[in-house]
Amino acid sequence: MTDYDTLKVAMKSGKVAEVKRLVDVFLSEGASAKDILNIGLLDAMNEVGQRFKKNEVFVPEVLVAARAMKAGTELLKPHLIKAGVQAVATAIMGTVKGDLHDIGKNLVIMMLEGAGFQVIDAGVDVTPEKFVDLAKQHNAKVIGLSALLTTTMPSMKAAVETIRAAGIPAKVIIGGAPVTQAYCDSIGADGYSPDAASAADLARSLVA
Ligand code: B1M
């Protein structure tokens, strides 16, 4: 029998082909897709996230682990659908209007996916109206806003105001290098986190 530790090690070191091979072996041995996802892939991704938070690993390590997780998840998808396994919730994630930085946003997306969310990537330079439209369309429970420029922080405020005015019940979380908890409080967002792993923890706690 294959063991989950072997799968976790392969995932944490970003070995895409090995992760795919092990997922196939687990499936052929009769393991449930839900266990492979939760005990193997999500646990490993969570560990990478926690180590990233403590500066024990850095962006490249997170990116390779996330790529391996994606490859494993793709193989599990049809089995998860058949077994009726649902995502924790849907989250919309985008960089706010006027801002084209997307590396941090993409990391947050990976961590959210690692935490079991279905994530709709709204992209960069996202208008408040687009956040509202996507949240309605996908019945989102979380909307994540990223900004890297002091000049685009006001776009976060505009997004929060537009989302509230439209009556969208989703929790709005914000982050990005210039963003602070004080700014979050001042614009009435539901939460701030300084890094991608904490963003996933925050999102999970807000929908719990
Ligand atoms: Co830009 N840029 N840039 N840039 N750029 C910065 C941000 C800057 C600090 C550089 C500097 O001057 N030292 C500066 C901003 C100054 C300020 O406003 N305070 C700056 C500037 C001025 C600009 C331009 C205006 C430059 C110009 O054209 N004159 C221009 C603006 C374009 C625009 O957006 N309209 C510009 C353009 C660019 C590039 C296109 C060249 C490129 C972006 C490429 C891309 O994203 N695809 C770029 C880059 C790469 C940077 C730096 C070098 C790196 C940013 C990055 O990706 N960091 C940056 C300087 C620096 O940070 N050293 C800089 C890595 C990433 C993982 O971190 O995005 O902070 P970050 O995400 C973190 C956390 O912040 C958090 O999680 C992530 C990881 O844990 N986080 C969240 C992010 N979003 C979150 C959301 C959450 C929670 C956490 O909840 C939803």
Residue 90 three-state SS:
strand
Q: Hey, what amino acid is at 119?
A: V
**Ligand 1 contact via 195 beta carbon (within 6 Å):** yes
Q: Hey, what amino acid is at 206?
A: L
| Cβ–Cβ under 8 Å, residues 197 and 50 | yes
What's residue 1's pLDDT?
Answer: 60
Instruction: Give start and end residues of each alpha helix (H) in the chain.
Output: 4-12, 16-28, 33-35, 43-53, 59-83, 103-114, 128-138, 153-165, 181-187, 196-207
| Cβ–Cβ under 8 Å, residues 179 and 147 | yes
**Ligand 1 contact via 199 beta carbon (within 6 Å):** yes
How many Cα atoms are found within 13 Å in the side-chain-facing hemisphere of 184?
Answer: 20
- Which of 54, 55, 101 has most ligand 1 atoms within 8 Å of CB, for mutation? 101
Please give the distance, rounded to the nearest whole angstrom, from the Cα atom of residue 74 to the centre of ligand 1: 30
What's residue 190's pLDDT?
Answer: 98
What's residue 78's pLDDT?
Answer: 85
**Ligand 1 contact via 144 beta carbon (within 6 Å):** yes
- Which of 148, 152, 174, 193 has most ligand 1 atoms within 8 Å of CB, for mutation? 148
- Measured at the alpha carbon of residue 46, what is the angle toward residues 44 and 52, in degrees to the nearest 5? 105
Q: Tell me the two tokens of residue 84.
A: 């009726």
Residue 36 to residue 80: CA distance in whole angstroms: 10
| Cβ–Cβ under 8 Å, residues 116 and 90 | no
**Ligand 1 contact via 174 beta carbon (within 6 Å):** yes
Ligand 1, atom nearest to 52 Cα: 80
Which parts of the chain register pLDDT below 70? 1
Please give the distance, rounded to the nearest whole angstrom, from the Cα atom of residue 100 to the centre of ligand 1: 8
**Domains recognised in the chain with CATH numbers:** 4-82 (1.10.1240.10), 90-207 (3.40.50.280)
Residue 28 to residue 43: CA distance in whole angstroms: 21
What's residue 107's pLDDT?
Answer: 83
**Ligand 1 contact via 108 beta carbon (within 6 Å):** yes
Q: Tell me the two tokens of residue 31.
A: 């393991």
Task: Give the total residue count for the chain.
Answer: 208
